[in-house]
Amino acid sequence: MLIYDLRTLTFNSMKTTIFSLLICICLQQLMVPVNTDGTLEIIVEKKVKELLANRDNYAPTVKKTLSCTSVKSMNRWASCPAGMTATGCACGFACGSWEIQNENTCSCLCLLIDWTTARCCQLS
Per-residue pLDDT 10s for the chain (124 aa) are 444 444 555 555 666 777 777 776 766 766 655 555 556 677 777 777 877 777 666 555 677 888 999 999 999 999 999 999 999 999 999 888 999 999 999 999 999 999 999 999 998 8
pTM comes to 0.51
Q: How far is CA 116 from CA 71, 78, 82, in A?
A: 8, 6, 18
Element (H, E) at 73: strand 66-73
63-86 in b/e burial notation, b at 16+ Cβ within 10 A? eeebebebbeeeebebbbeeebbb
pLDDT at 103: 92
Rounded distance, CA 84 to CA 26, Å? 40
pLDDT at 116: 95
